[in-house]
Amino acid sequence: MNRKSINFLIKFFILFCSFTFCNLNAQFKTVKITIDNQRLKEGDKQITSNINESIRNFFLLTNWGDEIQDLQITLDIQVLFEGIADKGSERLFSAQLLFNTGIDQRYFSKTIQFPYSFGQNINYSPVIFEPLSSALEFYGSTIIAGELDTYEKFGGTSFYEKSREIAMRGMSSQYRRGWSDRLELIDLLTKYRDSRLAKFNFYDGMAYIEENDYDGAELAFSEMINNLNKTFKRFPREHYTTIFLKGHIEDFINLNDEFQYKKIILNKLLIFDPDNLKKYQDAISKSK
């Protein structure tokens, strides 16, 4: 095979990948599912025996948006089945779900009810409401929104609005349980504007650190501190902002000691994140 033919095949493969399998993991890189079905009867355990693979495929195979390729989010999902409820002719599974990126986003769904049959695929649909797939789409969009907020100021707004639309459809459906809580979650996340800016400024500061631009880093981290001050002044110990800080403890305490603004950041974190007081104090004592 000559070089021209090889080049053609390479270009064809790249083009093919751009529309098919190579983009499957563009938004979600890996998805780990943990199922707890101890409360289910044996027959119901059999019915849901493949649900972990169905949920994993939902996140990996869904194209969440051509404009947001290569986010590479790692996701851990825990599903705790609580039992079965009869609703008319339907048997609805009841479960709790926990979504965790392993870094700085964690969301808990206290209750979700959905019909499910053995071997059922869970398909993405931006229009049709379906209790399980719509719940997964809701949390997927919310997590993507949080990720996009770290790339540009309020970059996740359009995905938060997608989540809001899904929650509103859920509230008007016959499977209303839990959807008012999800709508409240989006209202809270979008209301904490300074918290969203703090996340952006944190990642901006870390990028400057990687470039050894300590002046740029100081400016970004000082903005982050200002954002956190405003957030905690209005909403003391705000839950999702606290999760973010806890997720980046090691990043903060391992900042280069040559970065003189490090001590100021750590002293502020003593106040913002008192649960980890000792870690910050130890880091301060070890800093130059």
Same domain, 157 and 266: no
Sign of the dihedral through C-alpha 88, 90, 96, 98: negative
Residue 226 lies in a domain: yes
Torsion angles phi and psi, residue 238, rounded to 5: -55, 130
Same domain, 135 and 56: yes
What per-residue string of b and e applies to 113-142 under the rule 16 or more CB within 10 Å gives b? bbebeeeeebebeeeebbbbbbbbbbbbbb
Residue-level pLDDT at 288: 66
Residue-level pLDDT at 22: 44
Same domain, 18 and 93: yes
Same domain, 12 and 41: yes
Q: Which residues of the chain have pLDDT under 50?
A: 1-25
Same domain, 32 and 69: yes
By the 10 Å C-beta count (0-12 exposed, 13-18 middle, 19+ buried), 204 is classed as buried
Can you tell me the distance from the alpha carbon of 146 to that of 244, in angstroms, rounded to the nearest whole number? 10
pLDDT tens digit string along 234-270? 999 999 999 999 999 999 999 999 999 999 999 999 9
Residue 84 lies in a domain: yes
Can you tell me the distance from the alpha carbon of 54 to that of 65, in angstroms, rounded to the nearest whole number? 20
Residue-level pLDDT at 26: 63
Same domain, 21 and 45: yes
Domain end, chosen from 167, 191, 215, is at: 191
SS3 10: helix
Q: Which two tokens stand for residue 117?
A: 């049959």
Can you tell me the distance from the alpha carbon of 220 to that of 198, in angstroms, rounded to the nearest whole number? 9
Contact 177, 112 (CB under 8 A): yes
Same domain, 37 and 75: yes
Same domain, 7 and 100: yes
Find tokens 């080049």 and name the residue: 7
Contact 272, 198 (CB under 8 A): no
pTM of the model: 0.89
| Residue 78 bridge partners (DSSP) | 34, 98
Residue-number span of the structural domain to which 260 is assigned? 201-286
Residue 157 lies in a domain: yes
* 51-61 vs 131-148: helix crossing angle, rounded to 10: 40
Can you tell me the distance from the alpha carbon of 180 to that of 224, in angstroms, rounded to the nearest whole number? 31
Residue 196 lies in a domain: no
Same domain, 115 and 211: no
Domain end, chosen from 155, 173, 191, is at: 191
Same domain, 164 and 217: no
Same domain, 246 and 144: no
Domain end, chosen from 171, 191, 211, is at: 191
Residue 233 lies in a domain: yes
